[in-house]
Copies of this chain bind each other. A is one copy, B any other.
Amino acid sequence: MKLTTFSDYTLRVLMYLAVERERLATIPEIANAYGISQNHLMKVVHHLARTGVIESLRGKGGGIRLRHAPSEIRLGQVVSASEGNSAIVECLSDEPCGCKIRPACRLAPILVRAFESLYQTLDEYSLADLVDKPDQSNQLRLLLKQA
């Protein structure tokens, strides 16, 4: 059980934008800072813009930035949105499920409840909890500049 790469990159983008929130950032600079693919990152940024977490300003001097203060961005909401429809188990996906016992299986609602607890716990934290400790914001900024 692990976070999708999509969620992993989503959180990294948000941390970057929280650290650099005085200015607009660009996809190439974020990709370069983390050493990850621009292509992957574009999908992540598009998703974050579409769900209203960030805003994208086009044109020369354009870029992306957080739409809200880091303290208002809850991690459970972010991860729940980025995980999207990736089903916890085959029987909860939209695809046909090959499992024979599905009609009598009581596991699916229990797993759904368990994942709800996970997201509730994540929702106890905001993006600010990831970046706004004294000194840590500077340390993050420095690490991201060592590209």
Contact = CB atoms under 8 A, between A and B. Distances in A.
Interface of A: 1-4, 7-8, 11-12, 15, 33-35, 75-76, 83, 86-90, 98-101, 103-107, 110-111, 113-122, 125, 129-131, 133, 136, 139-140, 143-144, 146-147
A32 to B, nearest CB: 11
Given A8-B89, A121-B113, A143 B2 contact: no
B86 A1 contact: yes
Tally of this chain's copies: 2
A35 B75 CA distance: 39
B136 A2 contact: no
8 closest Cβ pairs, A-B complex? A104-B139, A117-B117, A117-B121, A118-B118, A114-B121, A104-B140, A114-B118, A114-B122
A50 B124 CA distance: 37
A3 B114 CA distance: 12
Nearest to A88: B2
Nearest to A101: B143
